[in-house]
């Protein structure tokens, strides 16, 4: 009977130790070693230089999205910030917009929604 308790206690202790080590080492893995999220970018402008195509490039020729650069600064023409891990996008003036470091930038909320993202809750 006491031997049974000893084995049970040992088993519970081993499970708790494995859980604690998983939490400890799972939280210590730097994000750069985790797999990066896969984001489908919208197609960009057609191939060839502007001179070859004989047209003047305006904002209409830009892609609907560009990859993020790890900062909170949005590139010109792409004010909407998207987080590929959560699937949420943020628009200028929204609550968390200024502190959001985007993994992808969009030209508009419509472009973000077309890519499968949803608006952040206010």
Global pTM reads 0.52
Provide the token pair at 49. 């230089």
Per-residue pLDDT of the chain (122 residues; tens, 9 = 90+): 556 666 788 888 888 888 777 766 666 555 555 555 555 555 555 555 544 444 444 545 568 899 988 788 888 889 999 998 899 999 999 888 998 889 999 999 999 999 999 999 86
Please check whether residue 44 is in contact with residue 64, taking contact to mean a CB–CB distance below 8 angstroms: no
The pLDDT assigned to 55 comes to: 46
Please check whether residue 100 is in contact with residue 72, taking contact to mean a CB–CB distance below 8 angstroms: yes
The pLDDT assigned to 57 comes to: 47
């Amino acid at each position: 009977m006491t031997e049974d308790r000893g084995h049970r206690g040992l088993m519970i202790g081993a499970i708790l130790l494995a859980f604690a080590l998983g939490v400890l080492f799972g939280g210590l893995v730097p994000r750069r070693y985790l797999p990066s999220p896969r984001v489908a970018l919208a197609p960009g402008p057609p191939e060839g230089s502007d001179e070859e195509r004989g047209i003047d490039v305006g904002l209409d020729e830009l892609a609907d999205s560009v990859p993020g650069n790890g900062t909170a600064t949005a590139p010109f023409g792409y004010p909407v910030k998207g987080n590929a891990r959560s699937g949420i996008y943020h628009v200028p003036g929204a609550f968390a917009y200024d502190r959001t470091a985007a993994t992808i930038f969009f030209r508009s909320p419509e472009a973000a929604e077309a890519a499968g993202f949803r608006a952040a809750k206010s």
